[in-house]
Amino acid sequence: MGLVNNNNVLKIKIMNNEEKATMYHTLLLRHDKLDGQIADIKSEAAGVELNKEQKKQLELLESQKQVLVQQAISLMK
């Protein structure tokens, strides 16, 4: 079930609808967790500009969120 990583290429193996729903739920939970981490970093700044490290961390987290979105989209194909 789920994502298979062969030579750094993610592939979705054939899944039934129940497996897809489970995977989608897992991806959604991971996405929500990343949203929480992003909110934490932004709240640390408390109205002042983010420092270089915070900006770098936000960029990484946003990138990870985009990967999750792409994986979710792949489930629907």
Q: CB-based contacts of 51: which residues, under 8 Å, 6+ apart?
A: 45
Residue 3 has pLDDT above 60, yes or no: no
pLDDT digits (tens, 9 = 90+) for 10-54: 555 677 888 889 999 999 999 999 999 999 999 988 889 999 999
Residue 66 has pLDDT above 50, yes or no: yes
- Residue-range definition of the domain harbouring residue 58: 3-75
Say how many domains are in the chain. 1
Pairwise CA distance, residues 46 & 64, whole Å:
24
Pick from 18, 13, 17: nearest CA to 1: 13
Residue 5 has pLDDT above 70, yes or no: no
Give the pLDDT band of residue 1 (cuts 50, 70, 90): very low
Residue 62 has pLDDT above 90, yes or no: yes
Q: What is the pTM of this model?
A: 0.76
